[in-house]
Amino acid sequence: YAPDKTSTVLTQHRQPAQPTPMQNRSSILQAAQQAPEDSGRTPLCGACKKIIRGRYLVALGQSWHPEEFQCSQCKVMLDEGGFFEERGSVFCTKCYDNRYAPNCAKCKKIITGDIMHALKMTYHVQCFMCAACKSPIRNQAFYMEEGEPYCERDYEKMFGTKCHGCDFKIDAGDRFLEALGYSWHDTCFVCAFCQINLEGKTFYSKNDKPLCKGHAFAPV
């Protein structure tokens, strides 16, 4: 009998996943600063272009009447709580998230914290989890099986292929072959009697053990 063709690479469904912290997004959460009352300058408001008398804010390199530095969508004052600038407009955090924050591919809700990028989609960190142990995968290696992600430990436990010769796992990149209904490292497919390597050679089998031609009828 001739063994199946070898030199096959075990398919490993392994992909990187990277969380993106809030501070690494394209738009940065900023805060308007209260200008000191004794600054000694008479600024112009960035909105109405009029002289500001009294208290004012400093943001985006300009000065503002506090009541005129507001969210471009809901018009709330932005003197507290921070703001985002996007395409020349400023937004409060709520309006910015509603307008620009991505949605989680798992729960479909807006992602306002760290973003997990995986499989060309975005997830909440806690939503991208191992299908077996339910632990967030975060930036660890993971494997896909039937559309579900698995951490490395659970994937190997549930789906890993073992060599019938040495009983150790066949890793990605290992040369292996299929014979007698089992998987074998190429170096483990040997005659059970004399240990000669049988890769690519004619072999016989007895009790699911490969045998070379010379020992095919010898007791094993």
Give the model's pLDDT for residue 29.
64
Q: Do residues 196 and 217 lie in contact, with contact meaning Cβ atoms separated by under 8 Å? A: no
CA 16 to chain centre: 5
pTM of the model: 0.46
**Of 98, 110, 37, the residue nearest 71 (C-alpha):** 98
Name residues whose C-beta falls within 8 Å of residue 63's C-beta, 6 or more positions apart in sequence.
35, 43, 44, 45, 46, 52, 56, 57
CATH class of the domain comprising 1-14+146-220: mainly beta
Q: Where in the chain is the domain with CATH 2.10.110.10?
A: 1-14+146-220, 15-21+102-145, 26-100
For residue 86, the model assigns a pLDDT of 84
Q: What is the CATH number of domain 26-100?
A: 2.10.110.10
Identify the three-state secondary structure at position 96: helix
Q: Which pLDDT does position 134 carry in this prediction?
A: 95
Which residues of the chain carry a pLDDT beneath 70? Answer: 1-29, 32, 34-41, 172-173, 218-220
CATH architecture of 15-21+102-145: Ribbon (2.10)
